[in-house]
Structure 1
Amino acid sequence: MSIIPYEEHSVTYGDEAKSIFYLAAGPRQGPLIIFVHGWPGIAKTWHPQLQAFASLGFRVVAPDMPGYGRSTTTSVKTDYSQEKVVEGVLAVLHDTGRDQAIWVGHDWGCATVYTIANTRPEVVRAVAGLAIPYGVLERGWAGLLAAVDRHVYPEKEYPYGQLSYMAFYEQSFDKAITFQNKNPHTMLRYLFRKPEWLPENTPSPRANVLKQGGWFGGIDSPPPPSTVKDEELIMKLDVFQEFVAAMEKTGFGSAGCYYMNHKANEAYNLSHSKHDGKLFMPVLFAHARWDSVSDCARNSGATVYMRRKCEKLTETIVEAGHHLAVEKPEDVNAAIARWLVEEVKDWWPGFWSHRFAKQP
């Protein structure tokens, strides 16, 4: 199957003249889906989804999020609050000439699409989150700690649960970033290798990052890239190489700044919520069965807020680790497509001119 070509766009926004880069593909008049990556990522990490949905007739868009790739990178931590990040992503929407989209997010991208759904519901036809439930990351530590399974992570031993690496950023930001920037290539190889499936009720290694003083048990430098072979990667090699080049250029500093705005994110989502946190548009949440950090497939407590606040919620489980859209693209694409057909059918390409005919 031939590759659908990408268009490259960049739009300037804000008083400080920042720019955000994005890829686009598919028919210009097709229903719009915007894919928002997390930590770490670039637009191209959505390659399997961009190709699949463009081929179905959707107009697909994926930005390099602020601080990544070809978008503006700064060292100002407050530039990466969700309020500021949403400003950049909405500039992408406006640049397409549309006033509404279907939004799909992963990891920190979930925080962004959920913040948009909560504070700007008029621009959201529907929203999908991969791995991170609604009401967790974008609500700061209140949402994050409420999602920790205290049967696995007793508070006395694991005050931050599996999220101690997030606390490590807050308490030792320079140390965390210096370590990651010593070898971005290695960091990406470990993050995007085939996941190790932990037995049920086994604490994640990330629960010990704060206690051990850093990643990999607190060692001074990451191991060499060769410790993770190409065949262990879950990402297409050409896309991975482009990803590595982008992260080697920007480093992990701006990416790490996303973790430094929990209080601001919580305050913004509380003060600007349009419906007291309730979402009335269709919502899809895809659990990652073997995600050792966002363990909601095995921890129902992590989804209590989402299930209470989302009026039209659909859930599915993908047999994958945290990076499910990369590891199991066919499964994720199928889940999104089925949800669109069932819950957002008016946005299926050609629906209005060629209504589906049901047989008696």
Structure 2
Amino acid sequence: MSTSRMISANGIDMFVTEQGSGPLVLLCHGWPELSHSWRHQLPALAAEGFRVVAPDMRGFGRTSAPQDVEAYSIFHLVGDMVALVAALGESKAIIIGHDWGAPVAWHAALFRPDIFKAVGGLSVPPPFRGRERPMEALAKNGITNFYWQYFQTPGVAEKEFERDVDYSMRAIAYGVDTLFLKEGFGFLGDTTIERKLARWLTPEDQAHVVENYTRSGFRGGLNWYRNLDRNWDLTAPWQDAKIEQPSIFIAGAKDAVITGIIGGKRVSEMERVLPNLKRKLIIDGAGHWIQQERPAEVNSALIDFLKEVSN
């Protein structure tokens, strides 16, 4: 059985769920999620001889949510994982991330190869640092309605999502219509449309997530997006750097993150950044929330990878 507790690390209090013993594996969730997103992975990986720890990431759930927008940079997020490894009494770890957790995992491997001996990313390919800031690149290309832009102004997206947390979570999990906002609508689109519960979520899962976000609000997680340009500035020393550790990438074939022009290119060229890529698994018929939608396939791939790299 998994257990949960609070751990102080990197100046914040982190809520973590953990299970098993053996080599340490950190599981980093994305937006708008919680450590609960890894509920299918904790017991499966623990049963294969690993110590698995899934935190509520900075700004999410029961973990601290600093007020300052700048406290959510990629340096803070990776710093949290470095400090968590130490707080757990370990010196090495394998780190796996999904959605926003994937950039945390990729950058953790990039910044601290002495700690993170292997890395995995779900749904979001490894970092290809472009030649200009993300927001500037969007504007230069005449794009004004991408969801990253909508998330930039504090309070706007928070108000939309917090109006009806249950509806917001149903809509996001089920899959919003587009990542480009339609005229007159927010991220969720037309809220008069009924949003069913995604087939891979139980009413209990939904209630858990809604309860947490009703209490915490959405500000913390949205602040990650408000650091996109800042992260570009901070990562200048790693321009064109490679992640040399053993790595794995898993995504759903129907995930909008990898089917677009930019995402598709990054998936096809990821070996440039990951010279030691052990496996690239694209699961047919699956969408973005891959470890919840298709846990058996994800668990099998992760277990094979973990056994290979922990020997």
TM value normalised by structure 2 = 0.89
The aligned counterpart of 2:17 is: 23
CA distance in 1, matches of 2:130, 2:158: 21
Q: 1:301 aligns with which of 241, 254, 265?
A: 265
Q: 1:316 to 1:122 in 2, by over 3 A?
A: same
Equivalent residue letter for 1:326: Q
CA distance in 2, matches of 1:241, 1:71: 19
| 1:150-299 matches, cutoff 5 A | 155=141, 159=143, 164-170=146-152, 172-193=153-174, 195=175, 205-209=178-182, 211-217=183-189, 222-223=191-192, 227-230=194-197, 232-271=198-237, 273=238, 277-295=241-259
The aligned counterpart of 2:80 is: 88
SS of the residue aligned with 1:121?
coil
Offset of 1:213 from its aligned partner?
4.9
CA distance in 2, matches of 1:277, 1:305: 14
The aligned counterpart of 2:35 is: 43
CA distance in 1, matches of 2:263, 2:121: 17
CA distance in 2, matches of 1:297, 1:340: 31
User: Which deviations, in whole Å up to 9, do the C-alpha atoms of 1:60-106 show, x marking residues without a partner?
Assistant: 00000011111102332111111112222222211111111111100
Contact 1:192 1:234 in 2 (8 A): no
CA distance in 2, matches of 1:166, 1:335: 31
SS of the residue aligned with 2:30?
coil
Q: 2:7 aligns with which of 11, 19, 30?
A: 11
User: Which deviations, in whole Å up to 9, do the C-alpha atoms of 1:178-223 show, x marking residues without a partner?
Assistant: 1111112111111223x58xxxxxxx611235x5452244x6xx45
> Does 2:298 align with 1:316?
no
CA distance in 1, matches of 2:196, 2:17: 29
Q: Name stretches of at least 5 consecutive residues in structure 2 with no aligned partner.
A: none
TM value normalised by structure 1 = 0.77
The aligned counterpart of 2:294 is: 328
CA distance in 2, matches of 1:263, 1:85: 15
Contact 1:115 1:269 in 2 (8 A): no
Offset of 1:18 from its aligned partner?
1.9
> How many residue pairs were aligned?
308
| 1:96-135 matches, cutoff 5 A | 96-135=88-127
CA distance in 1, matches of 2:42, 2:299: 10
Q: Name stretches of at least 5 consecutive residues in structure 1 with no aligned partner.
A: 149-154, 197-203, 347-360
Offset of 1:142 from its aligned partner?
4.7
After superposition, the CA RMSD in angstroms is 2.9
